Amino acid sequence: MVKKSLLVLVVLVMLVASFASTSAQEEQSFKIGISNSFVSSEWRTQMLQQMEALVEEYAEEGIEIELVIESEDTDPQGQIQQIQNLVNQDVDAIIINPGDVAALALTLEEAAAEGVVIVSVDQEIEAEGVLNVVIDQTEWARISTRWLAEQLGGAGDIVLIEGFVGHPANEARMAGVEEVLAEYPDINVVGRESGMWDQATGQQVMSDFLASLPNIDGVWTQDGMAQGVLTAIQTANPDEWPLIAGEARSGYVHQWQAIEAENPDFTSIGVVNPPIIGAAGLRVAIEVLLGNEIDEEQLQGPFGNSLYVPIPNVIVDEDFTYTNADGEEVTYTANFEDEFMLVEEQPDSYTIDGELTREDIQSFFVME
């Protein structure tokens, strides 16, 4: 009778252990959806590639991630359909790079209410249950705008070439530009047009500006257009080249180096907008799915639901001291030659990036 009781106990222990093991395995396997509404962008391609590479890294740790990617050039209604498609496929989380702030909110809130973890990357969105993992796009624009204003000595005529009007990141950046320029009443914005985050379009817009406004002193533009803008200036070759706030992309850095070799007085700046922000959002979603708790004291931003990833680098060819939004003085040391060496063999479309480890992301969480 004792032997029989022991046998039953052993079987029960084995069943419990098997169930616990199976549950642990289930907890380490997640299906995560990606919603991307803009594929005509090398930056977005790099973002998606890094997210796919991250899946392999987690697999080595025994955490299986299945990515379900919805990615195409589409309008807000199309991105709503992307989100609904992902929810219908029973994903555990959705990482979204939103093309619209307001239009997607209700759909995302409905998905969150169903228990789906929602993380917005690259731009901030106000919606119940949504977590933003972003750089501060407003601060990103303040840095290069301040540089341009100081290089101009606080006076001159400039043009602004922005991205998609109405797009969340563009609007945040332009707010940063306007905030800084408000401090420089002798800087006049004599032209403002959209370059659609496209090098060819940016080049055409700049060519048109140079034809109609021959005495431009400076140009502020965003990443994805600066190489085209600089090409237009090279082609027109005015007697006095306008100063240009550039971009942290391989093609622009190559161009910058070539021009500087012939004209040592040429100077520019490139503030890094890291494509790795997508992988950062994916890491955050995985930590949430693993049961880790966000440190709410680190939530920032206009809606109180953003985790700000530091801007990883600023490329300059001479030291630049800048006072950030927190009133802290930051000095960016001349690093152009080092950055050029890093991207010398990279294609023009490559965006200079940062690095975010799992430990970096866990710093946003209450870890025991």
Give the pLDDT confidence score for residue 367 in this predicted structure: 81
Residue 256 binned pLDDT confidence (cut-offs 50, 70, 90): very high
pLDDT at 253 over 60: yes
At residue 25, the pLDDT reads: 41
Question: How does pLDDT run across 327-341, given as a tens digit for each residue?
Answer: 899 999 999 999 999
Interval 244-255 mean pLDDT: 97
Report whether pLDDT(24) > 70: no
Tell me the pairing of strands 187-194 and 130-134.
Answer: unpaired
**Is it the case that residue 291 has pLDDT exceeding 60?**
yes
When pLDDT is averaged across residues 72-79 and rounded to a whole number, the result is: 94
pLDDT of 325 reads: 79
Q: Contact 41/224 with Cβ under 8 angstroms?
A: yes
d(CA 80, CA 77): 5
Beta pairing partners, 307: 133
| pLDDT tens digits for range 267-276 | 999 999 999 9
The residue among 96, 100, 133 whose CA lies nearest residue 111 is: 96
- pLDDT grade, residue 348 (50/70/90)? very high
- The pLDDT, as a whole number, for residue 27 is 54
Q: Is the pLDDT of residue 11 over 50?
A: no
pTM, two decimals, is: 0.88
Mean pLDDT of the chain: 91
Domains of the chain: 29-135+276-310+356-366 (3.40.50.2300), 137-271 (3.40.50.2300)
pLDDT at 168: 87
**188-238: per-residue pLDDT in tens?**
999 999 999 999 999 999 999 999 998 999 999 998 999 999 999 999 999
